[in-house]
């Protein structure tokens, strides 16, 4: 059963950057962007420990990234099962339009903001959608 007081981590996977967002009760907020390098799972593990994450939500889209995201999520799940002391639940959600939604919202922002990395904002969009549906 879902508890709105449990922290949830959302992951927007990318080949270069991985956007992270976190729930604060029933609100999602962008957390940070990490690089998709050999330290990604260790960084995610540290974030989960720091924020007492109970569930990880991985965004899946219906484009060419879907297969790479599924591979990443399978590797993350294996890492959790074999290397982590505690075991947050792992769930997939549709994030097909989250990046588009962020771009639309940024159209009115200054140019420097529009060109910023949005991965963690995209993660917060699909996390908020998930929170709205589940609480």
For 60-75, the pLDDT digits (tens) are 987 788 899 999 999 9
In a domain, 73, yes or no: yes
At 23 the pLDDT is 97
**pTM of structure:** 0.86
At 65 the pLDDT is 85
Give the pairing of strands 7-12 and 53-60: parallel
Distance of CA 117 to the CA centre of its chain: 14
Q: Is 43 left (phi over 0), alpha (psi -120 to 50) or beta?
A: alpha
Domain that holds residue 117: 7-130
- Region 120-126: what's the mean pLDDT? 90
Which of 91, 15, 102 shows the shortest CA–CA distance to 59?
A: 91
Render pLDDT for 54-108 as a digit per residue (tens, 0 to 9): 999 999 987 788 899 999 999 999 999 998 998 999 999 887 755 555 556 556 6
In a domain, 2, yes or no: no
Give the pairing of strands 7-12 and 27-35: unpaired
In a domain, 1, yes or no: no
For position 39, which CATH number holds? 3.30.420.140
The total number of structural domains in the chain stands at 1
């Amino acid at each position: 059963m879902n508890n709105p007081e449990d922290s949830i981590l959302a992951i927007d996977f990318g080949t270069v950057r991985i956007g992270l967002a976190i729930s604060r009760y029933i609100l999602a907020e962008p957390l940070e962007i990490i690089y998709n390098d050999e330290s990604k799972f260790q960084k995610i593990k540290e974030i989960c420990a720091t924020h007492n994450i109970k569930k990880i939500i991985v965004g899946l889209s219906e484009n060419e990234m879907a297969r790479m995201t599924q591979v990443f999520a399978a590797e993350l799940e294996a890492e959790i099962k074999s290397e982590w002391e505690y075991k947050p639940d792992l769930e997939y959600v549709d994030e097909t339009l989250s990046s588009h939604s962020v771009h639309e919202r940024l159209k009115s922002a200054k140019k420097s903001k529009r060109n910023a990395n949005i991965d963690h904002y995209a993660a917060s969009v699909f996390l908020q959608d998930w929170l709205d549906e589940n609480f």
